[in-house]
Chains A and B, each alone.
Chain A
Amino acid sequence: MANLIDIKGVTHAYRTKAGPLPVLDNLNIAVPEGEFAAVVGPSGCGKSTLTRLVAGLMKPDQGEVWLHGERVTSPRKTVGMAFQNPVMLEWRTILENVILPLEIVAPRMAQRDRVDRAMHLLEMVGLKGFEAKRPSQLSGGMRQRASLCRAIVHKPDVLIMDEPFGALDAFTREDLWQTMRDLRAAEPFTCVLITHDLRESVYLGDQVFVLSGRPARTQTVLDVDLPADRTLDILFEPKAQEMLHTLRDQIRIAQGRDGGAH
């Protein structure tokens, strides 16, 4: 099957006062339709640049980004985004926040249908009863749940997430992993998740891409060979432990340290 996301030989550098700062170097990532790609790598290796490239918010210096067999040169309506900061609009209620993308993507959709769609998602993530609240009245985890609803309310083919659970406490984070899996089971979408959390990458991902230190290239790809309906307990099983170990070693190498050294 054709890949839904195809990043081919992407090289990119930022122009800074001290000269060009290369962030991506001949990066290759391919994600088949419906698959979940987790991307891990050392801090500052250009992972966020990757999200902006896939979303069409910027163009790479070299190489190509393809979505659905079309070359990405500008933003498209079939993409959803979620960030570490839930980016809630404080002047809107939770429901109105979730509806926002529909106002852009489907301007002619009836308001009642928009509300139905948003309410359906809010119910799925456990925010029923909070739709009329302001974002400031919700906890960080709840805001991030609402942010996820907003990212997929317009049924995008691709969901791009840039460390969406990074600012949450460990328990809330695990709750949200579960929510993420529920959402994916209910609404199929192809997903790119940028993360620092190796357990997160193994629990959520179908493939884990390890990027090297800056400038980032694809250092290694790990197929997560675990059953599709995973529970958190699976992370404690030997197979998952082994994968986490491999990933950890790979990150060490990416950071420029030897695999066995401390």
Chain B
Amino acid sequence: METFQKIAVPLLAVALFLLAWEGLVWVNNWPNYKMASPSDLPPAFWKFRWLFLEMGWQTLWRTVLGLGLAVLFGTLIGMIMGFSRIARDGLYPLLVGFNAIPKATLVPVIALIFIGQHDFNTVLMAFLISFFPIAVSVGIGLSTLEPEYRDILRSLGASRFTIFRKIALPKTLPEFFGALKVSVTLAFIGTNLVEIVSPHGRGLGALFKSGETNGDYPLMFAVLIALAVLGIVLYYAVLVLERIFAGWAERAQS
């Protein structure tokens, strides 16, 4: 019964939403160049099915690669900030300042620096927009480690690296995954930003842009739905990883 409820309730909510959307378009008698209705979407998906797969794949791998780089770089910066007070004082204002820049303004800058390198630019943007939460959460996680946790290993003569591997790293994992959930969405935004603002015919963003150029509203809405689905898939992928690597934190709270 509980599992049925878990599946049925969200499905019903989605169905109601689609119904309301369809009803809204129907009542106002909007043409599909003003607002496409859900019933316009399946034909749009079918018509461009191969493009959706190809572009969806483009968007996906560039997002994941950018996020992967953000994880590596963000963790590294976080570690440096977590272990060194001086590094923290020096890096923090830079990071906050960089994070405050609306990333849309960076698209033309990057496009000019790395002219024509569309894949590279997109991955770079996904990375730039998403490493901040990871760096901050890892940094805070490490710097707030209670001294006793360090002492139980340090009193045995364990090296800093051993203490990091056995205590600091696992203890920071829940914070890391919390940040990763934010970062995955941000990376996805970064990818689409470049694909839409500086399109080179690749990615779902470019498909969206071509829908706009050709006045194909159902296609544009279909892209939005596809993006939502892809975003959900990415988010849940992180959730699964969190269950595997930091599931203990969830049990600890219940």
Contact = CB atoms under 8 A, between A and B. Distances in A.
A182 interface: no
B156 A134 contact: no
A75 B157 contact: yes
B154 A57 contact: yes
A76 B157 contact: yes
Interface in A74-113: 74-77, 79-81, 83, 85, 87, 89-91, 100-101, 103-105
A90 B247 CA distance: 10
Contacts of B152: 81, 87, 100-101, 150
A143 to B, nearest CB: 12
B158 interface: yes
A55 B170 CA distance: 25
B151 A81 contact: yes
Interface residues of A, number: 28
B238 interface: no
A47 interface: no
Contacts of B151: 52, 55, 57, 81, 83
Given A85-B148, A87-B149, A104-B162, A75 B249 contact: no
Interface residues of B, number: 23
A162 to B, nearest CB: 9
A101 B252 contact: no
A136 interface: yes
A79 B158 CA distance: 12
Which of B152, B155, B162, B167 counts the most A-chain CB atoms under 10 A from its CB?
B155
A79 B156 CA distance: 7
Contact of A104 (B149, B157, B173, B249): B157
Interface in B172-225: 173
Contact of A154 (B154, B156, B162): B156
A140 to B, nearest CB: 14
A55 B155 CA distance: 6
Contacts of A90: 171, 248-249, 252
B166 interface: yes
Interface string B215-254: 0000000000000000000000000000000101101110
Given A81-B152, A134-B251, A104 B167 contact: no
A46 interface: no
Interface in A46-76: 52, 55-57, 74-76
Contact of A136 (B153, B173, B246, B251): B251
A53 to B, nearest CB: 11
A101 B156 contact: yes
Nearest to B150: A57
A134 B162 contact: no
Nearest to B247: A91
A72 to B, nearest CB: 11
Contacts of A83: 148, 151
B148 A87 contact: yes
25 contacts: A52-B151, A55-B151, A55-B155, A57-B155, A74-B157, A75-B155, A75-B156, A77-B156, A79-B156, A80-B155, A81-B151, A81-B152, A83-B151, A87-B148, A87-B149, A89-B167, A89-B170, A91-B173, A91-B246, A101-B156, A104-B158, A104-B166, A134-B252, A150-B152, A160-B155
